[in-house]
Structure 1
């Protein structure tokens, strides 16, 4: 699996802009799964998941990683073609055409990551919270100018590289951590979406 795939056309972005398809991608990023497995996790009818898998496969965003025969039926296990999807190339050519899809897709992706984080937190053994040294978190709002934003982006890239190195060189005595780093300019709307 590639680390980053640069979306090639607007059709890929449109397929990716569906909230359920984003949830499907999140469920197969770390582990190959069948449509039936994904349907059970997301509590969505299997035929609906199979439709969305076909759409993601049609535009080349996922592929079948392996197949297994079970009771005479061939099961397909899907994975995304990359861990991350970049819209950089599309923005260069079609920025005005894709503004709405891009905005919806990015917002939904962040919301899904927050839901995942909430889900993991709910499943954490409560004794973990007795030892605060094991939990690393921070919350802040601050005003940043252009040079500070660039400095933050550079440090975030360094952190992503460090995380990637840790993933590639997983230690046997390591403990599983869930991490979420999120920063965005906050301009409150008069009527925010629920």
Structure 2
């Protein structure tokens, strides 16, 4: 799966601007689902989910990843073609891209909340008074830096995450971790005073 897919056409941008499609896509970024599984997760009809799956597939956001025969039925599993989606520069002037981006941030946060709520209790055990020794991380901060400094930080962060993702050393001692970050420009500090 690619890390980022660039949205190239207005039709793709319009297709991804639908809030339900964004929500479906966030599920499919996480793992493959069947139409039936998504319908159950989202409490919607299979017909409605199938319509949106077809639109996402038509615009190259998802693909069929496997077929499984079960009880005489053929189950089709769909997955996202990338971990994230961004509009090409020539599409950035469309208002829909702002709302689609905002919606995608909200869906990422909703999925993170679900991951926290469904994680095993052991994920939140604290066995040291030194936070650097915890095998979990939750922090937020409001900072005032130049755009260049912020972009340098995001580049380094992406490199660190990509290093974790591409680490192919598989051992029985490996643990699974959920990693996410959200950052965006704000008008003013709410949680902390500027130093």
Per the normalisation by structure 1, the TM-score is: 0.82
**Alpha-carbon offset, residue 164 of structure 1:** 2.2
How do residues 99-114 of structure 1 correspond to structure 2 at under 5 angstroms?
A: 100-114=95-109
1:164 correspondence with 2:165? yes
Match for 1:129 among 99, 106, 124?
124
2:84 partner SS: strand
Instruction: Point out where structure 2 has 5 or more consecutive residues left out of the alignment.
Output: 128-133, 189-195
Tell me how large the CA RMSD over aligned residues is.
2.1
- The answer for the alignment partner of 1:11 in structure 2 is 11
**Alpha-carbon offset, residue 22 of structure 1:** 1.4
- The answer for the alignment partner of 1:20 in structure 2 is 20
In structure 2, the CA distance between the partners of 1:129 and 1:63, relative to structure 1 (3 Å rule), is closer
- The answer for the alignment partner of 1:95 in structure 2 is 92
- The answer for the alignment partner of 1:151 in structure 2 is 152
- Whole-Å separation in 1 of the counterparts to 2:166 and 2:71: 41
Per the normalisation by structure 2, the TM-score is: 0.82
1:180 correspondence with 2:180? yes
1:29 partner SS: helix
- Whole-Å separation in 2 of the counterparts to 1:155 and 1:59: 31
* Structure that is richer in helix per residue: 1
In structure 2, the CA distance between the partners of 1:46 and 1:140, relative to structure 1 (3 Å rule), is same
- Whole-Å separation in 2 of the counterparts to 1:37 and 1:85: 23
In structure 2, the CA distance between the partners of 1:74 and 1:127, relative to structure 1 (3 Å rule), is closer
Deviation track 1:9-66 (CA, whole Å, cap 9, x = no partner) reads 0111111111111121122224322100111122222111111001111112212122
Instruction: Pick which of 147-156 and 39-48 moved more.
Output: 147-156
In structure 2, the CA distance between the partners of 1:82 and 1:9, relative to structure 1 (3 Å rule), is same
**Alpha-carbon offset, residue 138 of structure 1:** 1.7
- The answer for the alignment partner of 2:130 in structure 1 is none
- The answer for the alignment partner of 1:63 in structure 2 is 63
